[in-house]
Amino acid sequence: MQPGERPIDPADPVLDEGTILRLARRHVPAAGAVLSVDESGGEARTYLLDDGTIFKTQRPHRVRASTSIEKAAFFMQQIEGIPGISVPRVLGYGREGTIEYVCESCMPGVAVRRADLDEASKRAMLGDLGRLLRRIHAVEQAPFVKSDLMPGDRDQHALAERFRAGFDRALGGIALDSSRWSLRGTPEAVAKAALDMLPANVPLRALHSNPGPPHAFVNPATGVLTGLIDFGDAYISHPAFDLRTWPRFQERLDLLAGYRSESDVDDAFLGVWRAVMILAEMTALAAGARPERRAEAEQALGTLLSGG
């Protein structure tokens, strides 16, 4: 092994070109060569083929119970071709032995985390992303609810339990180090205030799970949103959970503004949104956020608890 090279994990081999092309040609006969391999996704490995196809495999030793490329393919097929929704097009899915794979079209642009966006461009992009998420959440839900591939909340009790479990984890982290909490009022009181914001009945939707900087794509020259990738962690719950994955509170406000720009949300939605944002900020404090992030979290909590 040469200096700087990573050892090959026998449980997670990089597939040889012949195997990739043989499997890919079942769905995209024009595939002729593998141009590059990308391992930045963590749960999956992607191979770029010369016809523009992405050949993606599940990495067996890194699979989490919530992650599935079969689920990702299913989700994208449900929303394919709907006006205003830009996601990869599924070209084929299959399994052979220990290999699970999907062939999909390549999303143009780069992930936001790799783009150099100024503040104005980022805010415009977040508005567009909010509108995209609103359209995804508005699609027919019956196929998702009926699918065994989709975990998550099927009723209001399950949604309430999701919140309680999340706050229990946050309170546990804060209890480990009292310096993580300096707000007026106890963290338990803040958690209770957030739970009290939950309305008795709200609609549940199929969610992307993490429409954040790794999965939102933009044109690197213009900063304009091109689409959203990777639905492998999708689940069913309240749409507000898809609006929490950006780290800064102002980014989440910009995302919400885009989400409600074409059709406003009701007070029940905003009640859940506030509870989700409070949970997100308490989780950041529980994890021992850096000083600047901690200050942002404390300011956001003050705003949220005051009804802002």
Asked if residue 67 and residue 22 are part of one domain, the reply reads: yes
pLDDT of the residue at 12: 76
Cα–Cα–Cα angle for 29, 31, 33, nearest 5°? 150
- CATH number, position 231: 3.90.1200.10
Tell how strand 53-58 and strand 44-49 pair up.
antiparallel
Within 10 angstroms of residue 75's Cβ, the number of other Cβ atoms is 28
**CB distance 279 to 198 below 8 Å:** no
pLDDT of the residue at 3: 41
Asked if residue 150 and residue 96 are part of one domain, the reply reads: no
pLDDT of the residue at 66: 76
Asked if residue 292 and residue 145 are part of one domain, the reply reads: yes
Alpha-carbon distance of 259 to 127, in angstroms, equals 7
Give residue 163's domain range.
110-305
The answer to whether residue 12 is domain-embedded is no
Tell how strand 44-49 and strand 205-207 pair up.
unpaired
pLDDT tens per residue across all 308 residues of the chain: 344 444 455 567 899 999 999 999 999 999 999 999 998 766 789 999 999 999 999 876 555 667 899 999 999 999 999 999 999 999 999 999 989 999 999 999 999 999 999 999 999 999 999 999 999 999 999 999 999 999 999 999 999 999 999 999 999 999 999 999 999 899 999 999 999 999 999 999 999 999 999 999 999 999 999 999 999 999 999 999 999 999 999 999 999 999 999 999 999 999 999 999 999 999 999 999 899 999 999 999 999 998 87
Asked if residue 158 and residue 256 are part of one domain, the reply reads: yes
pLDDT of the residue at 41: 67
Asked if residue 27 and residue 132 are part of one domain, the reply reads: no
The answer to whether residue 178 is domain-embedded is yes
Asked if residue 191 and residue 116 are part of one domain, the reply reads: yes
Residue type, 126: L
The answer to whether residue 7 is domain-embedded is no
Asked if residue 173 and residue 64 are part of one domain, the reply reads: no
Asked if residue 287 and residue 166 are part of one domain, the reply reads: yes
pLDDT of the residue at 152: 97
Number of domain units in the chain: 2
Asked if residue 115 and residue 96 are part of one domain, the reply reads: no
Among 280, 267, 278, CA closest to 302 = 278
Answer whether 0.85 is exceeded by the pTM.
yes
Alpha-carbon distance of 83 to 284, in angstroms, equals 36
Domain stop point among 88, 105, 122: 105
- C-alpha radius of gyration, the chain, whole number: 21
Among 287, 272, 72, CA closest to 153 = 272
